[in-house]
Every structure is written in C-alpha cells, then in structure tokens.
Amino acid sequence: MNDNSNGSSLSFVDIIKTTKPSKILFFSASVLSLLGCVISLTVPLLIERLIDQLKSNIDIKLIVWIIAFSLLESVASSISQFLLSVSAEKVIFNLREALWNKTLQLPMKYYQKNKSEELVSRLTNDTTTVASIVTDEMVDLISSFFTLCVSIVILLFLDIPMTLALIIVVPLSLFIIIPFGKRFGEIAYKSQDRISELTMFSSQILRNIKIVKSFGAETKELQSGKDKFYSLYKLGVKSSILNAVIGPFLGTFGFLLLISVVGLGALRVSNGDISIGKLVAFIIYLFQVIAPFININMFFTSYQEAKGSLKRIFEILNEDVEPDRFLTNSVKNKNSFNTLILSHITFSYHEEQVLKDISFHVNKGEIVALIGESGAGKSTIFNLIERFYEPQSGEMYLDHVSFREVEPGLWRQSFSYVPQDSQLFDGTVKDNITYGLSSVTEEEIVHAAKLANAHDFILALPDGYGSEIGEYGNRLSSGQKQRIAIARAFLRKPDFILMDESTANLDSESEYLLQDSLKHLSEHVGVILIAHRLSTIMNTDRILVLENGKITGDGKHETLYQTNAYYRNLIQHQGLNKNQS
C-alpha cells in the first residue's frame, strides 16, 4: 500500500494502485470505446462524400454504410459502458473490502480519536467517488484525447486555414473552464465533508432516539438537522450557480464558434476553396473537437474531487494495525492456559497515569472481584487484558507465555468479555449467543443459556432462539440483554471470563442463579469481575482493591474490611451494600 496520505501529492498512479481496477474489463472497455471513436470519426467523411455526390446521383451503398457504422458505434459504446459499470462496481468492492479489513484491525485508540460514522462515510461516499474516476471518466479521458487528436488531424486534412483558426480560438475557453473546474472541486470536497457530518449526526440521534424523546430534545435536534441540511443546501446552490454560468457560457461559445465556422466555411465554398461536403464534415468534426475538449477539462475537475476522497481513504489505510498482529515468531495456535499474570504494569492515557505498578494473578478455578471508585482503573485493566491497549511497561503472561509472543486475536481467544452495557447485534437470539463461533451444537447453546439463566425467557419469546431481537437488542429488557451477553461469554469456553459490572441489570434472583452458575463454571475457568454489589463481592474467592491506580488490597471480604481502610470506606460510604444495584 502506498504510504502517501497527503491528498495534495497523491498521483493518479496512487489511485490506480489502491483501487486495482480489473485489467481485462478496463482494457476491453477502452478498446471498444476507441473502436466507437474510430467509427464516429469515419462517419463524417462518408457524409462528405454523400453530399458531394448529390449533384450527380445518390450512392445507396454509402447511405447503408453510414447507417451501419452509426449502429455499430452505438453497440460498441453500449458494451463499453456496461463493462465500465462492472469494473466500477469491482473497484468499489475492492476499496470497501480493503477499508473494512483495515477497520477491523485498527487498535482501540483509533476509535477513541475518530468517530465510527466517519468510517461509514468513507466506506460509502468516498469509495463511489474514487471508483468513478478510475473507470468511466478514465476511459472517457482516453477516448476524448484520442478523438481530439484524430479530429484535429482530419480537420487539417479537410481545411488548414479553418483548422488553425479553430486551434487558436477553442483553447480560449480554458480561461473560464479551469477556474470554474477548480471551484467545482472545492465545493465537491466540502460537500463530501458535510455529508459525512450529516451521516454522523443522524446516526447518533437515531441511535439515541429514546434519550432525545425523554429529554424533550426534538425541537433542538430538528434545528440542528436543519442547520446541517442548510449547509448542504448552500453548497448545492453554489454548485448550481457555477453550472448556471458555465453551461450557458459553453453553449454560447459553441454557438458563436459554429456561426464563425459556417460563415468562414461559406466564404471559402463561394471562393471554390472547399466543397459543401467538406464544410458539413468540418462542422461535424467541430463538435467532435469541442465535446472531448470539455470532457478532458471536466476529468481534471473530477480528479481533484477524487483526490480528496482518496486522501480520506488513505488516512485509514495507512493507520497502524494492532501491535504484534503479524509477529513472525509468535504463538500461532490456541492453547489452554491455567494462570493469568500481570506483572508491574504501568499505563497512561496521554499524559495521565492511570495504572501504577500493577501486579496480580488469577488462576483457573478462582473468582476474583476488582473494586474501586470510578476512575480508579478497573476498566483499564480489562482493556489491557483484552489487548485493546498495550502497557507502557510491565508484562502480562498466560502461564509463562508473554503477551508479546501471542497475536492479539489469538490471545483474546483465551478470554470472554461481558460488558456492562450488553452490546448485542441486530439478528436472532441464537446469532448473538453464537457470535464469533463457527460450529456450535444446539445442546451447547441451550446449556450456555441455562447457565446464564436465560433459557426460560428465550423459550417464552415468539420464535424462541430464532426470535429477532432488533437493533442493539432493543426488543429485550436490560436484564434479558445482559443474560444473553453472559450466555455468549459462557459458550465461548474461554480460560478466563471478564465481567464488567455484568450483574448491574439483574434482579436478585437472577444474580443468585448467576453466582451459582459461576461457581460451577469456575471449576474450569478463571473469573475476574468488576462489581459494586456487596452480595457479589462476598461470594468471590479474592477481592482486589484498586486505589488511585494501585492495588492496595488482595484478600477476602472479612480480612480486607478489618485491615484495609480504603476498602472499609468504600463499604461504609460509597453505597456498597446488599441492596445496592
């Protein structure tokens, strides 16, 4: 992949290398397009002969040839356009596949700095813009350049004085076309940015529509939407103004040029310098000069727009993927591990140190609670264990295998993560429980659901495990979503389960049943959970107390309550009690 991400210095070669258009389709379309050009350039010469023969007799064969060539040109152009359309779709597919592959490999810090909706806009809008320039417009450029050159040669053959006058006059239009084309490119670039912003805005509002309605913010968001629509509207008006100016200008310029050619041609016909047939052919070729001339200029306008889109695409494609993903000496196969060890881990978000010399271990068969105030670093520890971030110093081991020797994807196979907000996907209950797994039996799915106390409510749904749960699982209650997320984690059969306040949305009975399941499950796995309920904490084998980024306590509830003042303060003053939810 080209390392150049600066839009101003991107070359057309960069675009071709990135998009990888089909050589066969592109070559075939180009050949057919050039064939169509050759045929269209031949027809005026035949018309010249036909007109010059009108004084004597009409050659029927010549008329047949003109009709046949015109039909052949139409067929060649139609097939060429079809091949270009297929090639464009393939380019879009290649770009989107490359972008999608890259986005799935990007580290979590990228998603913290960038909005997901921007990626959606890159996948949809920008890929389509770039595809157009390397297929349709590229072939148009080739055929236009070919037509322009050959037409000028034929015009010189027909009449040198009129052709020289044409060569002098036509380029004058560049003084209008080039500035307008540059302005078109600027407006197109801004429009793409505004469309990206609109995509982000609308996605965010629709995703949080309950909050919008609950807080009575419809009027506010209506105005925000109108502001964004109006911004696009103003750019559209500017584009329309340019079109309103350049369209009539080119039309008037072409008309005056035609009148001039007809006048000069008529004078030369009256003087006997050229025949009427040559004048008619010259006029036809005149249009075949003007149209390619305009197409070539418009290509470079579109090229500027495509460079802007490609710049944004390159910004993603040139991002670094997760560290160690392609280590040559890394562990390649999934193993079963018995102990997770964090040794002297230090981690900072930007300049703020969050974890300071953290060390602890968790064995299979243990349930370990991680507690502390908000911002103490509990979720950060989970993020490091899951390899979403890399520590600045220290080591993490599975048994005696360093995290630096295991690819992130393979490392994560040893863990199941149950988030606090129960992130589910649009699809069925079964789809969500089996997410990320390719071959699972029905018995295993049901067993995992029973362990999570989800089986009974799933059977009560209209289609059981085949029931659609809606976008983000919005057809389920918070507790139901949480239990499906827990079942998903159990089914993965990991070495360790990470539970981030996973009991927060469960009622007391469900929490009790889950704790019972965890006891049985922990015979085969290690469990690390972030919890705020005292009932959950007291049923763990060990409690790790996290205070200002440091572990200041490690033991059972009774021991820590007596010996750790910070832990005792949390219990007494931070609302950690048996009724806390």
Phi, psi of 527 (to 5 degrees): -125, 130
pLDDT score of 412 more than 80? yes
pLDDT score of 214 more than 70? no
Question: Which segments of 159-217 does DSSP mark as H helices, in order?
Answer: 160-169, 174-207, 209-214
Residue 544: per-residue pLDDT:
93
Q: CA-CA-CA-CA torsion for 173, 178, 183, 188, nearest 10 degrees?
A: 110
Residue 443: per-residue pLDDT:
92
Helix (H) or strand (E) holding 280: helix 276-317
Helix (H) or strand (E) holding 216: none
pLDDT score of 343 more than 50? yes
Measured between alpha carbons, how far is 339 from 358 in angstroms, rounded to an integer? 16
Residue 269 near residue 282, CB atoms below 8 Å: no
Q: pLDDT class for 504, splitting at 50, 70, 90?
A: low
On average, the pLDDT of the chain sits at: 80
Q: What is the pLDDT of residues 248-281, one digit of tens each?
A: 777 777 777 778 878 888 888 888 888 888 888 8
Per the annotation, the verdict on 315 as an active-site residue is: no
Residue 377 near residue 355, CB atoms below 8 Å: yes
Residue 581: per-residue pLDDT:
38
DSSP state of 401: E
Q: Around Cβ 465, how many Cβ atoms within 10 Å?
A: 20
Measured between alpha carbons, how far is 77 from 75 in angstroms, rounded to an integer? 5
Q: How far apart are the first and last CA of the chain?
A: 51
The catalytic position among 322, 501, 511, 547 is 501
**Partners of 34 in beta bridges:** none
C-alpha distances out from residue 455 to 241, 430, 514, Å: 63, 11, 13
Mean pLDDT (whole number) for 491-519: 77
Lowest mean pLDDT among 381-385, 438-442, 498-502: 498-502
pLDDT score of 179 more than 70? yes
Cβ neighbors of 86 (< 8 A, separation 6 or more) are: 22, 25
Measured between alpha carbons, how far is 542 from 553 in angstroms, rounded to an integer? 10
Mean pLDDT (whole number) for 99-106: 84
Q: What is the pLDDT of residues 299-312, one digit of tens each?
A: 776 776 677 777 78
Q: Higher pLDDT residue, 321 or 497?
A: 497
